[in-house]
Structure formats: structure tokens, C-alpha cells
């Protein structure tokens, strides 16, 4: 394998990868294992100037894990992240990604990771921010760790969508509730032995706490996890590729004009580790 380097982007999350080109993605047999190890160590990896076409993105992504087919067309593994409803019928739903979240918290098993390739960027806004949910746990006091490990949280799509639409119509509410609620421990004990906090927009309430105390605790933990010194903000350039570990990283997109040409091509890696 060619010499590849990583430079930390923040002390807690993110690394810039240098020394990788498109040809290596397709032909370097050692690169997939290196990438997964680097992802575990850094939470998010940034590759500049790769300018991937869909064929190459899918080919390399398949070397990293099992891909979910969430898109359409020649490469159903590619999901278009755009606010243009003519290109993505779920464009309105995507505005929910403007809030901190972990993908798949209303599923039995969250996705493993996500890769985004920038084909067009917003003139203003549209940056993506990342914060380590591992560090969110590790920075707690011993007393807070013990308390959090005793708690369980109910996650719902409704909770995340109400951040966009706090007073939904009956029809909208019915749609929000189509996916069942999912209860998870607040602290995820991973196979590796590491622990992380399961937080974000889908976190509706803490089981057994009154609503006010529940909301206060979840908001406080999220605020502490995402202080500016613990966040990496990626300012997109056309050609960038970013991959992040969904099991240990919170993320959000910053708002941008719905008429913006911003166009991200996403591959999604199926998970195999339940939250427990």
C-alpha cells in the first residue's frame, strides 16, 4: 500500500487523509482494512479532491461493508442528498438532518457508517458537523456515567420531525408515527468495549423520568457533547469524500437554501451491531 497519512482535524473527531487517489480505491487491496481501522480511531475521515463517479464510489464502498439500496436508477446504492424534490422525493424529510442525530436510532440495528461524495456545494451553508459520541461518554464524571448507564431512552421519528414542525396536522402526525418507537439504553456498550452516548434528534424521552426532567437531561448531554471545541465542521468542496462511523459519531448538516445546487451522493453501510 502507498504511504498514506492522517492528520487530526480536532482532538476528538475527524482526520484528513492524504496519499489516496481514485486508482487506489479500486486496486489497493490493503486500503479497505486500513480505512476501517482509521475510521474506528478517528470517527470521520476526509478525502479531498477524489471527484468520485457513482461507479467508483459504489465499488469502493462494497469493499468496506454491505451497502443498503436506498436510491434508484443504475446504482440504487447511491442515495441523492439534495433538497430538490424533483430529484429526491424525501427532500422535505432531509431538513431533519439539520439537527444533531445518529442515523437509524428507530431501527433495531443502526447503520454502520455513511460515505458522502460532493458533486455540487451550496454557495452558503450546507457544511456538515461531526461530534464524537464516544467522547460524549468518556468526558462524563464517574457519577454521571453511572447514572446514564442506568437509563433507557425512547427514540421516535416524531421527535425529530417536530423540531421542524412543532404543530403538525393530523395527517402529518400520522405520517410521523408510521415508524414504531424504539427503546435503547442511553449508553451503548460496543463489542469493542468502548462506550458511547445515544443522543440526538430522535431521542424523545427518558423512560421513568417526568417530561421536564427527561428533556433537560437529554438537552444537557447533547449540549455538552457538541460544544465547539468537540466539533469538526467540514466545509465542502466539490470532489470531497467524507466517511463517518455512525456508531460513534453524531452529525448534522447546517441549513442551506432549498434552491441550492448542493448535491451529495451517499452510500450507506448496513450495521450488524445492536445498541445494547
pLDDT per residue over 239-266, tens digit each? 999 999 999 999 999 999 999 999 999 9
pLDDT of residue 255: 95
Place of cell 451491531: 273
Is the domain spanning 5-84+109-121+234-269 CATH 3.60.130.10? The answer is: yes
What pTM value is reported for the model?
0.95
* Helices 54-64/31-42 angle, 10° precision: 80
pLDDT of residue 120: 98
d(CA 15, CA 232): 9
> Where do the domains of the chain lie?
5-84+109-121+234-269
Least confident of 69-73, 231-235, 268-272: 69-73
d(CA 206, CA 197): 13
pLDDT of residue 1: 62
Output the nine-digit C-alpha cell for 60: 469502493
Name the phi and psi angles at 207, rounded to 5.
Answer: -60, 130
Output the nine-digit C-alpha cell for 64: 468496506
Give how far Cα 98 sits from Cα of 79, 91, 239, 253, Å: 17, 12, 22, 5
Place of cell 496519499: 19
Name the phi and psi angles at 157, rounded to 5.
Answer: -65, -35
Q: Is the predicted pLDDT of residue 207 greater than 90, yes or no?
A: yes
d(CA 253, CA 247): 18
pLDDT per residue over 40-65, tens digit each? 999 999 999 999 999 999 999 999 99
pLDDT band at 161 (very low <50, low <70, confident <90, very high): confident
- Give me the chain's average pLDDT, please: 95
d(CA 206, CA 160): 15
Q: Where are the beta strands (DSSP E) in the chain?
A: 5-8, 15-18, 44-47, 79-81, 113-120, 128-132, 152-155, 182-185, 187-189, 195-197, 203-206, 231-234, 241-245, 249-253, 263-269
pLDDT of residue 108: 87
Average pLDDT over residues 105-122: 96
pLDDT per residue over 173-203, tens digit each? 777 788 889 999 999 999 999 999 999 999 9
d(CA 265, CA 23): 19
Percent of the chain's residues with pLDDT above 70: 99
pLDDT per residue over 68-84, tens digit each? 999 888 999 999 999 99
More confident residue, 257 or 95: 257
Percent of the chain's residues with pLDDT above 90: 84
d(CA 150, CA 125): 39
Amino acid at each position: 500500500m502507498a504511504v498514506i497519512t492522517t492528520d487530526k482535524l480536532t482532538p476528538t473527531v475527524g482526520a484528513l487523509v492524504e496519499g489516496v487517489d481514485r486508482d487506489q480505491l479500486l486496486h489497493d487491496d490493503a486500503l479497505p482494512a486500513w480505512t476501517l481501522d482509521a475510521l474506528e480511531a478517528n470517527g470521520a475521515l476526509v478525502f479531498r479532491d477524489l471527484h468520485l463517479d457513482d461507479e467508483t464510489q459504489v465499488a469502493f464502498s462494497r469493499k468496506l461493508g454491505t451497502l443498503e439500496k436506498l436510491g434508484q436508477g443504475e446504482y440504487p446504492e447511491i442515495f441523492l442528498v439534495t433538497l430538490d424534490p424533483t430529484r429526491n422525493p424525501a427532500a422535505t424529510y432531509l431538513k431533519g438532518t439539520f439537527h444533531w442525530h445518529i442515523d437509524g436510532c428507530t431501527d433495531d440495528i443502526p447503520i454502520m457508517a455513511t460515505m458522502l461524495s460532493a458533486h455540487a456545494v451550496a454557495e452558503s451553508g450546507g457544511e456538515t458537523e461531526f461530534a464524537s459520541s464516544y467522547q460524549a461518554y468518556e468526558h462524563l464524571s464517574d457519577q454521571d456515567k453511572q447514572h446514564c448507564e442506568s437509563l433507557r431512552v425512547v427514540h421516535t421519528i416524531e421527535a425529530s420531525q417536530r423540531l421542524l414542525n412543532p404543530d403538525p396536522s393530523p395527517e402529518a402526525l400520522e405520517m410521523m408515527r408510521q415508524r414504531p418507537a424504539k427503546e435503547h439504553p442511553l449508553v451503548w456498550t460496543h463489542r469493542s468495549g468502548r462506550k458511547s452516548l445515544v443522543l440526538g434528534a430522535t431521542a424523545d424521552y427518558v423512560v421513568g423520568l417526568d417530561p421536564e426532567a427527561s428533556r433537560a437531561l437529554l438537552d444537557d448531554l447533547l449540549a455538552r457533547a457538541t460544544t465547539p471545541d468537540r466539533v469538526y465542521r467540514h466545509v465542502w468542496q466539490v470532489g470531497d469524500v467524507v466517511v463517518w462511523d455512525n456508531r460513534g459519531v453524531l452529525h448534522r448538516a447546517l441549513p442551506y437554501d432549498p434552491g441550492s445546487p448542493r448535491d451529495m451522493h451517499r452510500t450507506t453501510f448496513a450495521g450488524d451491531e445492536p445498541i445494547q
